[in-house]
Amino acid sequence: MPKVGMEPKRRAALVEATIAEIGAAGSLDVTVSQIARRAGMSSALAHHYFGGKDQIFVAAMRQILRDYSAEVRAELATAATPYDRAAAILRANFSQDCFAPSAVSAWMTFYAQAQTNPEAMRLLRLYQRRLRSNLTHALRDLTPKPKAGAEMLAALIDGLYIRAALTAPDADPLGQAMTLLSILTEAPHDQA
Dump pLDDT digits (tens) for 132-178: 999 999 999 999 999 999 999 999 888 887 877 777 666 777 888 88
Rg of the chain in Å (alpha carbons):
19
**Greatest Cα pair distance in the chain:** 64
d(CA 25, CA 162): 18
The overall pTM is greater than 0.85: no
Instruction: Check pLDDT > 50 for residue 122.
Output: yes
**Is 61 within 8 Å of 106 (Cβ atoms)?**
yes
Buried b (16+ CB within 10 A) or exposed e, 162-183: eebbeeeeeeebbebbbebbbe
Alpha carbon 189 to chain centroid, angstroms: 26
The per-residue pLDDT of the chain, averaged, comes to 86
d(CA 154, CA 152): 6
Q: Under the phi-then-psi rule, with left for phi > 0, alpha for psi from -120 to 50, and beta for the rest, what region is 175?
A: alpha
Give the pLDDT band of residue 108 (cuts 50, 70, 90): confident
Instruction: Check pLDDT > 50 for residue 192.
Output: no
